[in-house]
Amino acid sequence: MTPLAESLGRATRVLDSLELGYALVGGLAIGALLEPRFTRDVDLVVGVKSDREAESVVRAFLSKGFELDSLLENSNLDCVATARLFSPVAPRHYVDLLFATCGVEPEIAARARPSEPFPGQPVPVARLGDLIAMKVLARDDQSRPQDRVDLVNLLAVADADELALAREACRLIQTRGFSRGRDLVSELAALHA
């Protein structure tokens, strides 16, 4: 088992023990749904209801040997957005727990479907439409060119249902105040034109 696969396995065991909804997102999720691509981290959305619950999740990870690198706050909502942890099996690999980065983490977790980013290792993976919405939000062609590449690849295989899901997720991200002042629905439409 590779260190990245072991890191994912340890992270999902912690989340399973807490009985919280979660989903794999980011490069590993895209690789599970399309074709594998290079990544050195595990990104997981976690459906929590409060900062207290997010902090409890972080403590559970620390008790299992993960080390805290940083906590990022959503300054608009004054809540924990992301916890970046070092994996106990691969110190150069991060495990990012996304609690409030896009505002639709609980919905993404609830809609996730099992897939195998690594053979024999099924985990809940975000749906294509949710990954598209997250990539539209994260996209910055100057500092994050991989997001544009990922978007092109995701949009190339998205069917009508997944595109509708992406539009709805972008709308919710905006409505909940997580769009960073951008019109994500229009950006998605322009990308898909």
What is the pTM (predicted TM-score) of this model?
Answer: 0.94
Predicted confidence at residue 148, as pLDDT, reads 87
**What is the DSSP pairing of strand 67-74 with strand 79-86?**
antiparallel
pLDDT of 113 > 80? The answer is: yes
pLDDT digits (tens, 9 = 90+) for 139-190: 988 888 888 889 999 999 999 999 999 999 999 999 999 999 999 999 999 9
Q: How far apart (Å, rounded) are the C-alpha atoms in residues 186 and 20?
A: 33
pLDDT of 5 > 80? The answer is: yes
Identify residue 33 by its one-letter amino acid code: L
Q: How many Cβ atoms are within 10 Å of 65's Cβ, its own excluded?
A: 13
Q: How many Cβ atoms are within 10 Å of 171's Cβ, its own excluded?
A: 16
What value does the mean pLDDT take over residues 4-21? 96
Predicted confidence at residue 77, as pLDDT, reads 75
What value does the mean pLDDT take over residues 1-7? 90
pLDDT digits (tens, 9 = 90+) for 53-92: 999 999 999 999 999 999 999 877 778 999 999 999 987 8
Q: Which residues contact 143 (CB under 8 A, 6 or more apart)?
A: none
Helix (H, G, I), strand (E, B) or coil at 46: strand
- Please, what are the domains in the chain? 1-126 (3.30.460.40), 127-193 (no CATH)
Q: Which residues pair with 123 in a beta bridge?
A: 115
Q: Are 86 and 3 spatial neighbours (Cβ–Cβ below 8 Å)?
A: no
Q: What are phi and psi of 126, to 5 degrees?
A: -55, 150
Q: Two tokens at 111?
A: 């809609």
Q: How far apart (Å, rounded) are the C-alpha atoms in residues 137 and 116?
A: 25
Q: Which residues contact 75 (CB under 8 A, 6 or more apart)?
A: none
Q: How far apart (Å, rounded) are the C-alpha atoms in residues 62 and 85?
A: 9
Q: Are 131 and 30 spatial neighbours (Cβ–Cβ below 8 Å)?
A: yes
Q: How far apart (Å, rounded) are the C-alpha atoms in residues 21 and 47?
A: 5
* pLDDT tier for residue 23 given thresholds of 50, 70 and 90: very high
